[in-house]
Structure 1
């Protein structure tokens, strides 16, 4: 276990239901915290790990320094069930499918769920090895304002329509074998990191 913790910086007991919320968190905000609380409750998770990425391959410009974003994340969410992690930097991974592979290998028996907003479901087919993501862990999608219908008719939603779990059974998602996904309509905080940056609310 000591070697595993050194590699990923995470201590995750077998059988734990762990949601993974990835992103640049540039900056982290109340919307991230709100999504996390909803995921913990609705998906029956024991913990949520914020995977603060070194950089987003889909974005042209690099984010603020990792240490700054992690410190800001800790200030945004104050919950013992939430861990702010630099596991991707430790592992040297940049793509979600690759990160999931290494986390699953280093934390056997942990029931991981990948968490994303509806906006990410809309563009999931653009992600590197997106089929590999769906094949490795269940995916929990939390609706954000304005993106509900287009997300549910996206390419990924159509391709994996057979693997969709009904909303009423969301608490079972961590126990499902991949591919499996669930789309939740939840009260949302209409915030985005890009809007905060554009408004000058995030000083690098």
Structure 2
């Protein structure tokens, strides 16, 4: 992690900050699509790319954390993008714990959790997923893989009455959770799994 990236983690009350977590193994254009869509449609001040040391739901261990951080830093060079290893530095394993720590430490910051629609399909398997939804608004960005399955998932059905129309997406960071929205945008079909399977390098943003 560079000193510049660490300095960019400074937060002030009133900021609208998207939290985009993942192993990013490897990072690809689909990830950048999700981050850019959230940044624009939610009118965010920052998007934090939270590079996780591990993913408890994935059967394989991710690659070296330092290598993945460097790759994400190279891909996410746009203004208002912040790359962080805060999970590793705080020693937390689960998103629910990270969200609890961040919201407690920065009560005046308007956090939003960002995920692709493929993550929404399995969101109900995350540890304390309903606690996450109760702590921060959630923005789901459409992905080409199983969009119907995501919108019919257990989490989507459970939270259906709290869904904000995407026409009001810019209001999401100010909403009292639970609150979520599903954003459609031109889709990127790349996935980390496909890139690993074919031994390919991530596409240039």
Normalising by structure 1, we get a TM-score of 0.93
Aligned ranges for residues 56-71 of structure 1 at < 5 Å?
56-71=55-70
Aligned-pair CA distance for 1:189: 1.0
Whole-angstrom CA distance in 2 between matches of 1:67 and 1:173: 33
Deviations 1:15-35 (CA, angstroms, capped at 9, x unpaired): 110001000010111111111
CA shift for structure 1 position 14: 1.1
The runs of at least 4 aligned residues of structure 1 exceeding 3 Å deviation read none
| Residues 167 and 186 of structure 1: CA distance in aligned 2, closer, same or farther (over 3 Å) | same
Residue 45 (str. 1) matches residue 44 (str. 2): yes
Instruction: Assess if the C-alpha contact under 8 Å between 1:145 and 1:188 holds in 2.
Output: yes
SS at match of 2:131: helix
Structure 2 CA distance, aligned partners of 1:9 and 1:136? Answer: 23
Using the alignment, how far apart are the partners of 1:157 and 1:17 within structure 2? Answer: 24
- Please tell me whether the aligned partners of residues 35 and 188 of structure 1 are also in contact (alpha carbons under 8 angstroms): no
1:160 aligns with 2:159: yes
**Structure 2: segments with no counterpart, 5+ residues:** 1-5
Q: Which residue of 1 aligns with 2:94?
A: 95
Listed as ranges, the gaps of 5+ residues in structure 1 are: 1-5
Alignment of 1:1-204 (within 5 A): 10-202=9-201
Q: Residue 3 of structure 1 aligns with which residue?
A: none
Post-superposition shift, 1:201? 1.9
**C-alpha distance in 2 between matches for 1:98 and 1:202:** 32
What whole-Å deviation, never above 9, does each CA across 1:19-71 have from its counterpart, x for those lacking one? 01000010111111111111111111111000000000001221111110000
Secondary structure (helix, strand or coil) at the match of 2:92 reads coil
TM-score by length of 2: 0.92
Moved more, 139-148 or 47-56: 139-148
1:9 Cα deviation after fit:
8.0
Which SS does the other structure have where 2:14 is aligned? coil
Following superposition, the deviation at residue 199 of structure 1 comes to 1.0
Deviation at 1:148, TM superposition (A): 1.8
Q: Is the 8 A contact 1:114 1:140 kept in 2?
A: yes
**Offset of 1:10 from its aligned partner?**
2.2
Q: Distance in 2 between matches of 1:132 and 1:28?
A: 28
Q: Do 2:8 and 2:82's aligned partners in 1 also have CA atoms closer than 8 Å?
A: no
Give the drift of 1:202.
4.7
How many residue pairs end up in the alignment? 198
